[in-house]
Amino acid sequence: MSDIKKVIRDKKTDLNPIWIMRQAGRYLPEFRKIREKNTNFIKLCLNSNLSAEITLQPLKRFDLDAAIIFSDILILPYGLNQKVEFVKNVGPILGDLNFDQISKSTENVFTEKVNSVYKAINLVQNNKLTENKSTIGFVGAPWTLLVYMLNKKSPKQGLEKSFFENDVLITEILKIIEKFLKIHIKNQINSGAEIIQIFDSWAGLLDNKDLGKYVYNPTSSLVEFTKTLGVPVICFPRGIKDYKKYCEIIQPDVICIDYEIDPNQIAKNIKIPIQGGMNPQILLTDKENLKKEAKKYLDIFKDHPYIFNLGHGVLPETSPSMMEYLVKIVKDY
């Protein structure tokens, strides 16, 4: 059993497993080489051999405790026939959402369309490099996917004014998203994913009064479903203010925290295993500062089941040598 599973299942506090969000990707020269030849990002995610190879790249370099599949949360709208493309220096751009079309989507057609993701998970899970390590599958949370599918781009510039106008449509789309997320989770688990992480990257956009409808209810349903398949769930509601309430309502096995939250408060208020926290910007500073910041999180959570990670994905400018140093700090702690 991997150290991550021991922390989750047995609530071990004497282990310091580490994996990093976006550990497979943009900061690694070997990834950039593959990316240069494969300019269509979605196509790259759906190339099972390359996706598996990219997933394993960080494990060849660093003593990490998990492989997270190289894929994207927007594989879901793609599988539902919404156009998805990634534009350099802009991010994801989605086509118009055809409600009639997505409401007629079937499990078979969806699974067929994104089947390469499941093949890649299987390749990773059966690779020697992942022995005694966890293979992590993931999905976007219903709210975050709703944002991309209706907004058709990243909401960094805010949501379209008309976003909440058609309440009936939103409710129906959420149901469809939830249905296909469950299919996507089940397929990943059947292919060898031992942990599922749910990324709610835009949870922080909502007012408290809207969290029940858009975050708590649909995410609870996914967490419950995943647990019935015997697999633990990590939730990452980025930007949410009240992690304690979130944990009480949604009951994930692990809560992943972002870097804007006070880790001392989390250690005091939350009993379940914690993951993450450190600001990815720290990896762009120097080794002394990195050691100080990493140790801060390790000290705060030393008597708490804790999985070391960042409070968001590793940045493209990060030097692999800093990543190597971080893994060493955590492993030597």
Per-residue pLDDT tens over the stretch 60-85? 999 999 999 999 999 999 999 999 99
Mean pLDDT, to the nearest integer, of 108-118? 98
Question: At a CB cut-off of 8 Å and minimum separation 6, what does 211 contact?
Answer: 203, 240
Instruction: Give 43's pLDDT tier (boundaries 50, 70, 90).
Output: very high
Task: Indicate the pLDDT class of residue 263, thresholds 50, 70 and 90.
Answer: very high
Residue 121: CB atoms within 10 Å: 28
Q: How far apart are CA 311 and CA 290, in angstroms?
A: 14
pLDDT-based confidence at residue 112 (cuts at 50, 70, 90): very high
Alpha helices (H) in the chain, listed in sequence order? 3-10, 29-37, 41-45, 48-61, 75-79, 99-103, 107-113, 115-125, 142-151, 167-190, 208-211, 217-228, 243-250, 263-269, 287-300, 320-332
- The answer to whether residue 247 scores a pLDDT higher than 80 is yes
Q: Residue 331: what pLDDT?
A: 97
The proportion of the chain whose per-residue pLDDT surpasses 70, expressed as a percent, equals 100
Look at the chain and count its residues. Answer: 333
**DSSP secondary structure of 25-58:** STT-HHHHHHHHH---HHHHHT-HHHHHHHHHHH
Question: What domains does the chain contain, in order, with CATH numbers?
Answer: 3-242 (3.20.20.210)
Tell me the average pLDDT across 311-326: 98
- Work out the average pLDDT over 1-22: 97
Whole-number pLDDT of residue 239:
95
Is residue 124 within 8 A of residue 52, CB to CB? The reply is: yes
What confidence score (pLDDT) does residue 58 get? Answer: 98
Amino acid 164: pLDDT: 87
Which pLDDT belongs to residue 161? 77
Using 50, 70 and 90 to split pLDDT, how confident is the model at 175?
Answer: very high
Mean pLDDT of the 207-222 span: 96
Say if residue 242 is exposed, middle or buried (CB neighbours under 10 Å; 0-12, 13-18, 19+): middle
Q: What is the pLDDT of residue 224?
A: 98
Mean pLDDT (the chain, rounded): 96
Number of CB atoms found within 10 A of residue 170's CB: 16
Give the pLDDT confidence score for residue 2 in this predicted structure: 96
Give me the pLDDT at residue 333, please: 96
Contact between 72 and 168 (Cβ < 8 Å) = no
Residue range 239-260: average pLDDT?
97
Burial class, 202, CB count within 10 angstroms (exposed 0-12 / middle 13-18 / buried 19+): buried
Quote the pTM value.
Answer: 0.98
Is the pLDDT assigned to residue 258 strictly greater than 80? yes
- pLDDT tens column, 114-161: 999 999 999 999 999 999 999 999 999 999 999 999 999 999 877 877
Q: Which H or E run contains 254?
A: strand 254-257
